[in-house]
Amino acid sequence: MEIRFFKKTEKSLLMQSIHSIWANNHILSRDENLLNHMFYETPGHKLITDREHFSFLGAWDDNKIIGLLGVMPFPFNFNGRKSLGCCLTNWIVSPEARATGAGLALIDKVHSFKPDMILSLGVSNEGSKVYKLMRWDVQPDVPRWIGLINKNRTVSALLGGESQPLRYYDVIKPLKYEGTYTVEHNDKLNETDWDAFYSSNYSKKSVGINRNAEFFKWRYENHPSFDYKFVICKCESNIKGLMVYRIEKLKSGDKIGRIVECITSDQDSAICLANALTDNQDLLFYDFYCFSNSTTWGLEAIGFKKVYKSEKDLYTIPSRFQPVDLENTDMLAAIFFSDKIKNKWNSVVLDSLYITKADSDQDRPN
């Protein structure tokens, strides 16, 4: 058995393998630009391979591809210290080859690079059992916050007229702001200003992918499919916080806001950024997936609510809209931390763990 990265010259083979082994007509089997973006242009590509290869692993047995594993490498930030982190996608072995050990061989290849964090978002229930056997931290549902803009329209457009799941939700409203910060709406960041804020402030109190200007330029400004918007909070010329979101249009013509970043430095920046969301009344709602509760302080202050799931409320607002899916609203996550990180940090204390839906491959076209 051979485990190796796909060569750049094997792009067609990789795309066909994703189609035949992972899922028929999967977006990565038909969108070359997205494939390049995710597995060739990542900021950490050079940390695990060279420019002649995608960061996408294959398992070959007798010259036949029997398994796949996409790897998105990034600098990993641990309270200001940098090392290697990886996000996984499309981990699969053909049913007839699952007794070969190819699945574990693919994971072992990733571990051979000695990352301090490996993240897999959007794990299936069956897949979560495998991660648990490997003693990874498995989170059954990444926390999600909802901020309603138009409650009545949301109920009629997405919940079939059933208002019960939203009986305690109110529409978001701006909070009286007493600070001096201002906000700017833009399509990109000033790289020097952002890196100055991130390195001196947020990186020192957070754990996750290193979100410097290089990351934001790759992930949002250069994204081949989506148009992301930046809301930048400033005190004079100094950045104090940042929110990133995109607008998703449904087949019905309705629109929703998908928040993918919310980074604040204090109460004023949190409220200042949150208030800026209330200007866009042409939406049904906003949502935001994130592990860190502290990032949502301002959102909750203007009326966002963390989704509460129970047997009584089997679902709330759906999370998949192309098409609308009322059944699958959970986002499972599996996370590996090296012993070096575990010895320095209690991963049960999740508030410093800044992971959002934009990490890995969850905020992408279907």
Looking at residue 165, its pLDDT comes to: 87
Do 151 and 64 belong to one domain? Answer: no
Looking at residue 349, its pLDDT comes to: 55
Predicted structure pTM score: 0.93
Do 115 and 148 belong to one domain? Answer: no
Q: Does residue 259 lie in a domain region?
A: yes
Which residues of the chain fall short of a pLDDT of 70? 313-315, 322-329, 346-350
Looking at residue 248, its pLDDT comes to: 93
Total count of domains within the chain: 2
Q: Could you tell me the residue range of the domain that residue 20 belongs to?
A: 2-139
What percentage of the chain exceeds 90 in pLDDT? 79
Do 27 and 112 belong to one domain? Answer: yes
Do 174 and 311 belong to one domain? Answer: yes
Q: Would you say 291 and 354 are in contact if contact means Cβ atoms under 8 Å apart? A: yes
At 81-134, the pLDDT tens digits run: 999 999 999 999 999 999 999 999 999 999 999 999 999 998 888 889 999 999
Q: Does residue 342 lie in a domain region?
A: no
Do 281 and 148 belong to one domain? Answer: yes
Looking at residue 327, its pLDDT comes to: 63
Q: Does residue 232 lie in a domain region?
A: yes
Q: Does residue 361 lie in a domain region?
A: no
Q: Does residue 152 lie in a domain region?
A: yes
Do 89 and 55 belong to one domain? Answer: yes
Looking at residue 312, its pLDDT comes to: 73
At 260-270, the pLDDT tens digits run: 999 999 999 99
Q: Out of 70, 104, 139, pick the residue that ends a domain.
A: 139
